[in-house]
């Protein structure tokens, strides 16, 4: 998903309910990537199916965001109804866990084909509360176009609304052969739990895999990894994983590029491990931590991701590793989403 919406999701997951209060205070408006919705009734206790208007709104969003650049629905925020549809009020949903369960059960029933990568998460004001808001994350789909099954229409996001797509536009947008969509995925050694050496160095192994999420066959897969050490005691070593299927180049020991060999291809949802990064951290940290990643393939967009941590952040993570090593520290450095941002 493009970076226009990722910071909003990250902010909500970090701040929790306060993020919605900030949205309200700023009178933030609906946009190409953000939609506010109230449920038909604010109480989903004992409800065994979605209310009609909620089902209708959900279906349009699955089709519209999936056929566009992706976006989020925030269930439980009332929009003003004016020309700019700004956030007017927060109205939490009772029995919010049941509402989330129903949303997830209807994902496979509302569009053709099914949008496979939709996420719903609950945000409550307090852990003990039985009410809260739900954020539905609908990425740009790899199986587009998505048809709304209830009215047999295809939708797209236009401004802050979902609009039916005219046949001519639909034909022009999707009347082409399926495209590949190769992006990064990582494979954690030791389940992401760091190893602590005798001299108190913290070590991880992270495998970088190319994954094809598009329906087209991926060929000429290429990209690079650029690493910068955080100090004299730190290392970011690279190991090449698949010399049978990839050609590799090393420039000055910090940039490692690759391109797949002729005849090597990735089909839908197939993956191959390209490299392994061996990370080793040991104070003092005299520079910021930085790894740059890019990946693409023939006739598709290129994705780029930059992972940065300051010296202060590294010190904090290092101390956590020494006192209580777990997979959380690597996730804090690395992040979860390696799909990255598309480069025009």
In terms of domains, do 151 and 111 share one? Answer: yes
In terms of domains, do 118 and 250 share one? Answer: no
Residue 191 belongs to some domain of the structure = yes
- Phi, psi (deg, nearest 5) at residue 324: -155, 75
Q: What is the domain-level CATH number for residue 35?
A: 3.30.950
Which among 124, 142, 174 is the end of a domain? 174
**Distance between CA atoms of residues 292 and 217, nearest Å:** 26
Integer angstrom CA distances of residue 208 from 80, 89, 129, 235, 337:
45, 44, 40, 17, 12
Residue 62 belongs to some domain of the structure = yes
Mean pLDDT by 10 residues, the chain (344 residues): 73 94 93 95 96 97 93 96 85 97 96 93 91 96 88 90 81 70 87 91 93 89 93 91 95 91 93 94 94 93 89 93 89 63 45
Q: C-alpha angle with apex 290: 288 to 292, nearest 5 degrees?
A: 160
Supply the pLDDT for residue 189: 82
Give the chain's domain count: 2
Structure tokens at 226: 């650029």
Residue 1 belongs to some domain of the structure = no
Which residue matches tokens 């039985």? 130
Where residue 328 falls (left for φ over 0; alpha for ψ -120 to 50; beta otherwise) is alpha
Residue 228 belongs to some domain of the structure = yes
Residue 139 belongs to some domain of the structure = yes
Domain span including residue 126 = 6-174
Supply the pLDDT for residue 219: 96
In terms of domains, do 191 and 266 share one? Answer: yes
Q: What is the domain-level CATH number for residue 213?
A: 2.60.40.10
In terms of domains, do 16 and 156 share one? Answer: yes
In terms of domains, do 131 and 197 share one? Answer: no
Residue 116 belongs to some domain of the structure = yes
pTM, full prediction: 0.57
């Amino acid at each position: 998903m493009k970076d226009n919406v990722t910071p909003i999701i990250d902010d909500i997951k970090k701040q929790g309910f306060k993020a919605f209060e900030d949205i309200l205070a700023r009178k933030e408006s609906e946009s190409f990537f953000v939609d506010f919705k109230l449920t038909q009734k604010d109480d989903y206790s004992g409800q065994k199916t979605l209310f009609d208007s909620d089902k209708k709104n959900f279906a349009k969003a699955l089709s519209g965001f999936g056929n566009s650049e992706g976006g989020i629905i925030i269930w439980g925020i009332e929009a003003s109804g004016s020309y700019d549809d700004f956030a007017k009020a927060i109205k939490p949903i009772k029995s919010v866990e049941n509402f989330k369960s129903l949303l997830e059960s209807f994902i496979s029933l509302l569009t053709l084909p099914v949008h496979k990568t939709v996420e719903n998460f609950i945000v409550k004001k307090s852990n003990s509360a039985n009410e809260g808001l739900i954020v539905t994350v609908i990425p740009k789909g790899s199986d587009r176009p998505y048809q709304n099954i209830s009215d047999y229409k295809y939708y797209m996001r236009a401004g802050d609304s979902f609009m039916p797509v005219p046949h001519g536009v639909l034909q022009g947008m999707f009347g082409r052969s399926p495209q590949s969509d190769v992006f990064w995925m990582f494979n954690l050694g030791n389940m992401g739990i760091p190893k602590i050496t005798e001299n108190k160095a913290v070590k991880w192994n992270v495998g970088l895999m190319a994954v094809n999420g598009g329906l087209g066959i991926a060929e000429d897969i290429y990209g690079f990894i650029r690493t910068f050490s955080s100090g004299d005691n730190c290392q970011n070593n690279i190991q090449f994983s698949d010399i049978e299927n990839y050609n590799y180049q090393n420039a000055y020991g910090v940039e490692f590029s690759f391109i797949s060999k002729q005849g090597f291809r990735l089909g839908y949802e197939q993956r191959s491990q390209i490299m392994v990064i061996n990370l080793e951290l040991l104070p003092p940290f005299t520079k910021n931590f930085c790894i740059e990643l890019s990946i693409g393939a023939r006739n598709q967009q290129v994705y780029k991701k930059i992972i940065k941590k300051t010296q202060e952040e590294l010190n904090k993570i290092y101390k956590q590793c020494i006192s209580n090593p777990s997979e959380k520290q690597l996730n804090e450095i690395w992040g979860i989403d390696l799909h990255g941002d598309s480069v025009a």
